[in-house]
Structure 1
Amino acid sequence: MYRRSGILLHISSLPSNFGIGDFGPWACQFIDFLFRSGQTIWQILPLTPVNGGTGNSPYSSPSSFALNPLFISLEKLIIDGYVSLRELDYNFSFSHNRVDYDLVREFKLNILNQVFVRHLVRIENDSKFNTFCANNAFWLNDYCLYQAIKDYFQGSAWYCWPKLLRFRDEKEIKKWSQNLAREVLKQKFFQFLAFDQWQNLKNYANGKNILILGDIPIYVSLDSSDVWANSEYFILDKDKLPLFVAGAPPDYFSPQGQLWGNPIYDWKKLKKENFNWWIKRIEHNLALYDLVRLDHFRGFVSYWQVEANEPTAQNGQWIKGPGDDLFRVMMNTFDPNCFLAEDLGHITEDVLDLRDKYNLPGMNVLQFAFANAADADDANSDLPKNPYLPHNHRRNSVVYTGTHDNNTIKGWYKNELNIQQKMIVSEYIGKDINEFNVHNEFIRLALSSTAKLSIIPMQDILGLDTEARMNLPGSSTGNWEWRLLPDQLTEHIEEMISRLTYIYGRRVN
């Protein structure tokens, strides 16, 4: 791949008239902005449904295959004849700069429910809809039944359902499928709309020579159709509850470690079936995206496993992952050039060996180059060797100013660096840096890097402060809510990004 650059902006963060970004007109306008400014990558976060009970995180979803129906564009439903403009005359007052997920759910699902009821006959006789259902049956049937039952039990987790249903007794599944047939059909219809609109949007991006970079979380949620329908692929007890859960070991930032709570895969079982479930999952994602980032790549080599009854992640242990067994199958099935490895965190030599064996690009986050620069008495002693500094970047890598889990560059500089660290930033860049110019200088660092791909979060393009942060790991409220305002994509911003992209040899259109 020749030198490219792009912008990280999740769908939910796009402007719209209905409280959350979607697959509609503003998504196309953002693609036009990317094209005019010389960008060829649009990185997004997982498009899967979110759950208010888990903080609306796209990394904690009821399905690793489904799309979030909140991303369905109501404007496009007007064009397709499903709803009229008059029906969208709503009494809701939406924030333009934050997503209120509860309000958006109430409004949008009410509209979608009305559309389903009104067009039921049309839906049942739509050949395109029926083809979609047939082509996606391997995940769609289980997910839509799961969601219909979950709604019936007012959001109760599947492991709290009646025993026969929890254990997927064949007669019980058949009975519930019949009793909730209309609700199951509705969920399928929502997925059909979402997938159809997304595919049209992706085609529009590809027509502008812009690739979509998506994200595959390594783990799935316990309360998901994935685990309910495929419990044999997870290490569960006789009641189908986890024996072990995933997490991260204690470190400087988290003395008790991180307890994520996701069930652990039964990699031995998956290997016996030639990793078929994982291969289907990746195939599905490669139909949605042009490129995919493999989240928590080190977990494929070895992962931190904690007994399910532990209150913290301190007493976990490293367990050998599927490693080369899985990646050999993956790379023989798919184009290796489609993958990026999220190789951040506690990285050991065997993780780098697997990454490099398959020539996967890793990640460089510029914030990490300076975060600990002044911890030692001689702050400059290890600075030249820091792998995250641009002069140490591998060509086969992706450079970021920060990620969705980091503070914005401005917020990081203001609130997370001490005076000595700020001096080192200025010394490295070769000019006086302050909170007002730091984002522009870090954009230059990223674009000038030898890394073949550079991705800048939209918040850093705009030089926004901490209030625009997308996610604060370990916190359960206020995340995934930031939104781009329509007037922030100015001609000045477009020209600035376009010029820098050209200067540093990343403009290809």
Structure 2
Amino acid sequence: MKIDLHKRQSGVLLHITSLPGPHGAGDFGPQAYRFVDWLQSAGQSIWQWLPSTPIGPGESPYQGVSAFAGSPWMVALEPLVEQGWLDAPALPGEGFDDRRVDYARVRPWRERQLRAAAAGFFAKAQPQDRQAFDGWCASQRDWLEDYALFMAISSSLNGEPWWAWPRDLAAREPRALVAARAQYADEVAFWQFVQWCFDVQAGALKAYANERGVHIMGDLPIFVAHDSADCWARPDLYELDEHFQPTVVAGVPPDAMATTGQRWGNPLYRWDKMAHEHFAWWTARVRRMLSSADVFRIDHFRGFAAYYEIPADSPDATRGIWKTGPGKALFDAIARSLGELPIVAEDLGFITPDVHELRDALNYPGMKILQFGFGGDGSHEFLPHNWPRAAVAYTGTHDNDTVRGWWNQASAHERALAAAYLQCGDDDLHWAMIRACANSVANVAVYPLQDVLGLDSAHRMNVPGTLGGNWEWRFTWDMVGAEAGRQLGVISAASGRAPIALARLPG
């Protein structure tokens, strides 16, 4: 479904794993469809997700083991039961937490269910299902075969990173790969089955949303993890040495928030090599993203203008240097293959003029975060009267505290300016923030569900730079009630972002 980012519209940010459901984490099951219905009833036309690729260290969706695969833990079990491939799963005796994802318990339990479903599929699937599976595997061969083999080898070696595998496998010697595919054929088939289920379910959910006027906004991280199928499959595309170790890594320099900067540790791309191949890897990656999303936010957009290069032996980010990124040539190459790209540029953080020049040359909207606007005076770029139309306005993002949590910890100056600007107090702060975004000239406005519900810091999704306790938040329908959707619909209709009928205005 084509999206017009120049049209006034709004949506809600909620990751798939935050949905309700009985199986320990949100997924593509019935509750996802119920949430689409809720969005439609509230006049929202965008549902924004975090990255839906497999999670990595710290359960982060921004450190995945594949840039192309989908998260196995988002595969809903109900459709597998309906197909007859899986018996109705028995929950652990004490069940799962409905407010938090306990990954240590949920992931092994869900993997057991997926393995049982795969066994059921390969034992008794109907011919048309086997034909659909085989056809899908053939259509995704370019990334699927390497990913499935990577997962199979990794599982057999207890999760050892790929550079620690036997040298012939780490170096992808052809004879070793042929032997591995034969040795791990059943395990490869399992991971292919899981990815097929992900694609079928994600596609069905997207189609359901689109039929109801709701677009899916995905999220594409700029970098990939070192221990990933992508690095293993094409080590020549990354700055690695002869032992497959990064020579330089990604991050950002020291600033007021982090005195030694942030050393993310992702290997950096060999942009010269990618350019020589006409950015084919990136084109394939964006094509894959657009199979499950109508539009996507591209993370750390500034890294395409210039990126921060940190020596791999540096324990922090104090020794890095700025290097020129691929710039407009990258996106022009992708667009030549795929057409106009529905991209939102995450242009936050340390931003220099070249980043804005690249964003504007590509005609991508940037991001404006209302929470950031109250630290100075009325000239602050993040106050709504200073926003351009070509922007996506947020009360906050997944990396921010909730609006309520921010207010509770804000400085006296921030609270005073916010109260004066928004004409609000403790009780109606979240609606005042949402209303300010909705009434702004920004073409698109997006609100985390936590802000729509007026929840405090206990419901925060992520605290950057910390491990543990992140990416776990879930909501329950009793937290939503009837009023949140009604009020959101009224604000959206009154601000020209939803049909006026939703406002239920008298007369």
Q: TM-score range by the shorter chain?
A: over 0.9
The answer for the alignment partner of 2:421 in structure 1 is 428
The yes-or-no answer on 1:30 pairing with 2:35 is yes
Partners of 1:316 and 1:459 in 2: how far apart?
36
Answer yes or no: is the 8 Å Cα contact 2:80–2:117 preserved in 1: no
Q: Determine helix, strand or coil for the equivalent of 1:476.
A: coil
Partners of 1:138 and 1:493 in 2: how far apart?
44
The answer for the alignment partner of 2:98 in structure 1 is 96
Superposition pairs of residues 470-485 of structure 1, within 5 angstroms: 470-485=461-476
Answer yes or no: is the 8 Å Cα contact 1:274–1:329 preserved in 2: yes
The answer for the alignment partner of 1:395 in structure 2 is 389
TM norm structure 2: 0.95
The answer for the alignment partner of 2:365 in structure 1 is 361
Note the C-alpha offset of 1:337: 5.1
The answer for the alignment partner of 2:317 in structure 1 is 313
Answer yes or no: is the 8 Å Cα contact 1:398–1:451 preserved in 2: yes
Q: Determine helix, strand or coil for the equivalent of 1:218.
A: coil
Q: 1:385 aligns with which of 379, 387, 390?
A: 379
The answer for the alignment partner of 2:327 in structure 1 is 323
Q: Determine helix, strand or coil for the equivalent of 1:119.
A: helix
Note the C-alpha offset of 1:333: 3.0
Note the C-alpha offset of 1:247: 0.2
Q: Determine helix, strand or coil for the equivalent of 2:398.
A: coil
Partners of 1:248 and 1:135 in 2: how far apart?
38
The answer for the alignment partner of 2:505 in structure 1 is none
The amino acid across from 2:42 in the alignment is S
The amino acid across from 1:419 in the alignment is A
The amino acid across from 1:91 in the alignment is G
The amino acid across from 1:220 in the alignment is V
The yes-or-no answer on 1:295 pairing with 2:299 is yes
The answer for the alignment partner of 1:412 in structure 2 is 406
Partners of 1:77 and 1:110 in 2: how far apart?
13
Note the C-alpha offset of 1:433: 2.2
Instruction: For residues 379-419 of structure 1, give each alpha carbon's deviation from its aligned partner in whole angstroms, at most 9, with x where no partner exists.
Output: xxxx222111100111011000000000000101111x111
The answer for the alignment partner of 1:45 in structure 2 is 50
Note the C-alpha offset of 1:89: 5.2
Question: C-alpha root-mean-square deviation of aligned residues, in Å?
Answer: 1.3
Partners of 1:90 and 1:475 in 2: how far apart?
30
The amino acid across from 1:307 in the alignment is P
Instruction: For residues 199-251 of structure 1, give each alpha carbon's deviation from its aligned partner in whole angstroms, at most 9, with x where no partner exists.
Output: 11111001101100001100000000000001110011011110000000100
Note the C-alpha offset of 1:119: 2.8
The answer for the alignment partner of 1:67 in structure 2 is 70
Note the C-alpha offset of 1:458: 0.3
The answer for the alignment partner of 1:163 in structure 2 is 167
The answer for the alignment partner of 1:118 in structure 2 is 120
Q: 2:136 aligns with which of 126, 132, 137?
A: 132
Partners of 1:432 and 1:447 in 2: how far apart?
16
Instruction: For residues 290-349 of structure 1, give each alpha carbon's deviation from its aligned partner in whole angstroms, at most 9, with x where no partner exists.
Output: 001111000001000000000000110000000021122123333435111001111111
The amino acid across from 1:489 in the alignment is V
The answer for the alignment partner of 1:210 in structure 2 is 214
The yes-or-no answer on 1:280 pairing with 2:284 is yes
The answer for the alignment partner of 1:172 in structure 2 is 176
Answer yes or no: is the 8 Å Cα contact 2:86–2:120 preserved in 1: no
The yes-or-no answer on 1:244 pairing with 2:248 is yes
Partners of 2:350 and 2:464 in 1: how far apart?
16
Moved more, 117-126 or 196-205: 117-126
Superposition pairs of residues 259-270 of structure 1, within 5 angstroms: 259-270=263-274
Partners of 1:110 and 1:327 in 2: how far apart?
41
Change (3 A) 1:432 1:360: closer
Answer yes or no: is the 8 Å Cα contact 1:124–1:130 preserved in 2: no
Partners of 1:192 and 1:80 in 2: how far apart?
14
Q: Determine helix, strand or coil for the equivalent of 2:344.
A: strand
The yes-or-no answer on 1:459 pairing with 2:450 is yes
The answer for the alignment partner of 1:377 in structure 2 is none
Answer yes or no: is the 8 Å Cα contact 2:335–2:341 preserved in 1: no
Superposition pairs of residues 338-357 of structure 1, within 5 angstroms: 338-357=342-361
Partners of 2:223 and 2:210 in 1: how far apart?
29
Moved more, 330-339 or 215-224: 330-339
Answer yes or no: is the 8 Å Cα contact 2:53–2:66 preserved in 1: yes
The answer for the alignment partner of 1:378 in structure 2 is none
Answer yes or no: is the 8 Å Cα contact 2:346–2:367 preserved in 1: yes
The amino acid across from 1:427 in the alignment is A
The amino acid across from 1:2 in the alignment is K
Partners of 1:127 and 1:302 in 2: how far apart?
46
The answer for the alignment partner of 1:79 in structure 2 is 82
Instruction: For residues 446-504 of structure 1, give each alpha carbon's deviation from its aligned partner in whole angstroms, at most 9, with x where no partner exists.
Output: 11110000000000000111111101010010000000112122111111111110011
The answer for the alignment partner of 1:380 in structure 2 is none
Answer yes or no: is the 8 Å Cα contact 2:47–2:215 preserved in 1: yes
Q: Determine helix, strand or coil for the equivalent of 2:297.
A: strand
Partners of 1:168 and 1:269 in 2: how far apart?
19
The amino acid across from 1:313 in the alignment is A
Q: Determine helix, strand or coil for the equivalent of 1:336.
A: coil
Partners of 1:66 and 1:471 in 2: how far apart?
23
Partners of 2:339 and 2:453 in 1: how far apart?
35
Partners of 1:498 and 1:37 in 2: how far apart?
4
The answer for the alignment partner of 2:496 in structure 1 is 505
Listed as ranges, the gaps of 5+ residues in structure 2 are: 1-5, 503-507
Answer yes or no: is the 8 Å Cα contact 2:424–2:432 preserved in 1: no
The amino acid across from 1:3 in the alignment is R
Q: Determine helix, strand or coil for the equivalent of 2:12.
A: strand
Partners of 1:209 and 1:119 in 2: how far apart?
34
Q: Determine helix, strand or coil for the equivalent of 2:40.
A: helix
Partners of 1:134 and 1:92 in 2: how far apart?
42
Moved more, 115-124 or 39-48: 115-124
The answer for the alignment partner of 1:105 in structure 2 is 107
TM norm structure 1: 0.95
Identity of aligned residues (%): 39
The amino acid across from 1:507 in the alignment is A
Note the C-alpha offset of 1:163: 0.9
The answer for the alignment partner of 2:185 in structure 1 is 181
Partners of 2:102 and 2:339 in 1: how far apart?
39
Answer yes or no: is the 8 Å Cα contact 1:397–1:451 preserved in 2: yes
Note the C-alpha offset of 1:123: 5.3
The amino acid across from 2:38 in the alignment is F
